[in-house]
Amino acid sequence: MLEDWLPELPPFQFYYPNRQYMPSALRAFVDYIKAPQA
């Protein structure tokens, strides 16, 4: 509706701890976020 007035948002960023100790639930979430959405 007012797209000309909306600010342009930066890309989504996600910070997470070292992958070596990442819980499986967090790994699944990160994989889901990184996957291309159809």
- For 3-16, write each residue's pLDDT tens digit: 777 777 777 777 76
For the chain, how many helices (H) and strands (E)? 1, 0
Nearest to 33, CA basis, from 18, 6, 25: 25
Q: Please tell me the predicted confidence (pLDDT) of residue 27.
A: 86
Give dist(CA 6, CA 2) in Å, integer: 7
pTM for the whole thing? 0.49
CA-CA distance, 21 to 30, in Å (whole number)? Answer: 14
Sorted by where each begins, the domain ranges of the chain are: 11-38
Burial (0-12, 13-18, 19+ Cβ within 10 Å), 23: exposed
Comparison of pLDDT for 31 and 14, the residue scoring more: 31
Q: How high is the mean pLDDT of the chain? A: 79
